[in-house]
Copies of this chain bind each other. A is one copy, B any other.
Amino acid sequence: MVIVNPSLLTVGLISVALLHANFVMSQYDPEGHKGTTGNIKQVFEGRCWDYDVTRYIPDLPRVTASCEELWKLFFKAFSYQPPCAVALENYQPYLRSATQIVPRDKVLFWSGVFSLAHEYGNYGRRYVTLEDTLIGYLANSITWCGQSIDPGYNVTRCPAWDDCPLEAAESFWAGASMTFAQGAKGEVLLMLDGSNPDKAAYRRNSFFGKFELPNLSKEVTKVSVIVSHALDKPKIDVCGAGSLDLLETDVTERGFSYVCHDDPLAVLHLLCADDPSSRECKLAIKHIRGDLDPSKVDPPAFNKIQEFF
């Protein structure tokens, strides 16, 4: 007997709302105007220890520098400097020490689909994003900026990304993205958001357009693009039109092959897992269910709430 479970349904609906919020979430978004993350040294070094011991991604080379050395190089890049004058080059010694070369055919770039891309990549086990590498892992979710007086970093307020031309965090992510692209080999995957009415799926001034595509190594053969669309929302950008046409031009002009796929099935299932009651996913219900248990193909009182379970 299937008993309707309203509270679990509520939780399901809340998670749908969270998914939509996450859909455009990005590590590139500044978190308002917070100051440098409290206890940043402990957090940075702690995440570094954790990464090495419990978050190790098979096939990624280990970094030989110690966590303490990495912190010193990272801190040196921005500390005791005005927040708006950190050159991209400042991070080079740190980036050189922390770089890991990702195996061929495993690099995943993304734009506008932070959560979905990391889920699809399965946090480095299927594909490797910048945030799965040590460089991105350590910096993701933290905030930092320098100041010329002691303690060398501002604990109360860091500028937003648009407030100055070379804000500390943006120049870090620019350098990190370039380094990540320079190490890519074989086929690379790029996941884009085709449902954002305010931003085209591909933009030349995105991180991918500005720092990754122009720095792709000559060992890259193909750029394989996935355009994902939020369930039950209009499809604004699709393969073969609009900004994806521009992307095809920019990719092929650099000598790489190009393929584009709208909503590959594995990605659709990820979206349906978060929102099984959406219109698209509901159509599949009877067919999945029917195969698993023929007696359930046309259950009596088959209604929307039961479909959640």
Contact = CB atoms under 8 A, between A and B. Distances in A.
A292 B290 CA distance: 21
Nearest to A125: B18
A53 B288 contact: no
A69 to B, nearest CB: 14
User: Which of A2, A276, A309 has the most chain B CB atoms closer than 10 A to its own CB?
Assistant: A309
Q: For A18, A261, A288, A290, which residue has the most chain B Cβ atoms within 10 angstroms?
A: A288
Interface of A: 2-3, 5, 7-8, 11-12, 14-15, 18, 37-39, 42-43, 45-50, 53-54, 67, 105-106, 120, 122, 125-127, 140-142, 186-187, 189, 224, 229, 235, 259, 261-270, 272-274, 276, 279-281, 283-285, 287-293, 307-309
Contact of A280 (B270, B292, B309): B292
What 7 pairs between A and B have smallest CB-CB spacing?
A: A46-B46, A284-B284, A269-B273, A54-B141, A46-B49, A269-B272, A265-B276
7 contacts: A7-B187, A42-B67, A46-B50, A53-B142, A265-B308, A266-B308, A284-B284
Contact of A49 (B18, B39, B140, B283): B39
Given A7-B187, A125-B15, A127-B11, A309 B54 contact: no
Contacts of A50: 43, 46-47, 50
A12 B121 CA distance: 11
Contact of A15 (B126, B224, B229): B126
Given A126-B15, A287-B284, A309 B8 contact: no
Contacts of A105: 7-8, 11
A125 B12 CA distance: 11
Given A42-B45, A264-B309, A280-B288, 15 more contacts: A11-B106, A11-B127, A18-B125, A42-B67, A47-B49, A47-B54, A122-B274, A229-B292, A262-B293, A265-B285, A265-B289, A268-B288, A272-B272, A273-B273, A279-B291
A292 B186 CA distance: 31
A231 to B, nearest CB: 9
A242 to B, nearest CB: 16
A232 to B, nearest CB: 10
Contact of A269 (B37, B47, B269, B292): B269
Given A12-B266, A46-B45, A49-B43, A287 B283 contact: yes
A115 to B, nearest CB: 9
A274 B265 CA distance: 10
Nearest to A284: B284
A276 B269 contact: yes
Given A125-B18, A280-B291, A284-B284, A266 B261 contact: no
